[in-house]
Chains A and B, each alone.
Chain A
Amino acid sequence: MRILVADDEGTTRLKLEGLLTKLGYEVLIARDGVEAWEILQRDDAPTLAIVDWIMPGLDGVEVCRKVREAGRRPYIYLIMLTIKDQTEDVVVGMEAGADDYLSKPFDMEELRVRVRAGERILALQDELREQATHDDLTKVLNRGTILQIVQREIAHVARKGESAAIILADLDNFKNINDTYGHPVGDVVLREASSRLGGRMRSYDAIGRYGGEEFLMVLPGCGAACAIDVAERMRHSLGDRPIQTDGGSVSVTASFGIALIEKGQGQKVEQLIVMADEALYRAKHAGRNRVEGPPKS
């Protein structure tokens, strides 16, 4: 884990750097508040920072305030560096958004426990974010999050002009699987199916669980041919070999409907879903285990 140490005073900076390095952390150094704020705005900013109270340019309190105002994610855990017996500073610092404080002179043990506490909070934050955005069962994105990604992609296409595609996939006759093998096996099938579908995507594509056995995929920069190609690969990944479960080997296929996000159409998320759903319906109607693209215009 990387930690930012911001202090204008060299002795303490060296002490923090030395001790944190011994504890196994990678340390970034800022010599004043302006430099600290610059580093904390980067995309790959460290998520834990130890910031001195008084620095030239920008004070630690102002750095804390700016970080909180920017409201950036992932969360940055801020430890304010103060001097013993200045409790009023601690209050002001914590109100400005610091999570904790460390008083000079500190020792190795105190530093270790403070940083550990920060790591615990950051891990909890990660866990909460994961829970809020992912589907419990399949671990792919949940409905709300994948729809947000569709929305973002519409805006991106409107701005950049590249096309993009969404694919709506529905496992064929899934109700029969639940009825025949029971719900625990049905859950295993859903998990494995989502993992196979996700495994056929590019790193910048997104997959979410749209409904019970429906999955929604977003493919940036993909036109009709590209989307059909991806959907066909997904279709094979499911249908070509059965899923092994405790209840036996289960053959699963899926039907796929594609809709294109196009510039200048003023499309809404709901319209796109309807379009993909219509294509999906055609695939089901034509015998399932099929891919249907957007209607030819």
Chain B
Amino acid sequence: MSQPNACDLGAALRSLEGDRDLLLRMIEAFLAETPMLLEDTREAISRRDSVALERGAHTLKGSVSNFVARRAYETAAELEEMGRHGHLNDAAAVHARLQSALDEVVDVLVGYTQGEPL
């Protein structure tokens, strides 16, 4: 069941001046690279590598911002902040929240590629 509030594809499309084709290509790139980025941050947490966590979370934040995915964005920002300050104790829990926020985003994006209306 897709969460329509996970991201705002209408706004994303407006930022592209309505170029659906470009949006679809961006979604494709996002679907291809997000699992890897998410895995990198998970590994960073288990290695307690705060620099890698900060960077990985930052990249994810930039990536989801293109789809106006607020919850995923804010959760990634939270993780980035933890990495920056080296406070990794609760990072695994936040990472789990990021994972679920991203799952919702992915659902909406996949739905869009399969022709679901915005």
Contacts and interface: CB of A to CB of B under 8 A. Distances in A.
Given A22-B19, A108-B15, A15 B66 contact: yes
A15 B66 CA distance: 8
Interface of B: 12, 14-17, 19, 22, 25-26, 29-30, 32-33, 37, 55, 58-59, 61-63, 65-66, 68
A84 B65 CA distance: 10
B59 A9 contact: yes
A94 interface: no
Contacts of B29: 10-11, 13-14
Contacts of B55: 54, 56
A18 B33 contact: no
B90 to A, nearest CB: 22
What does DSSP make chain B's interface, helix, strand, loop or mixed? helix
Contacts of B26: 11, 14-15, 18
Contacts, number: 67
27 contacts: A9-B59, A10-B29, A10-B30, A10-B32, A10-B33, A11-B26, A11-B29, A11-B63, A12-B62, A12-B63, A13-B29, A15-B16, A15-B26, A18-B19, A18-B22, A18-B25, A22-B17, A54-B58, A83-B65, A84-B65, A104-B62, A104-B65, A105-B15, A105-B66, A107-B14, A107-B17, A108-B17
Interface string A1-35: 00000011111111100110010000000000000
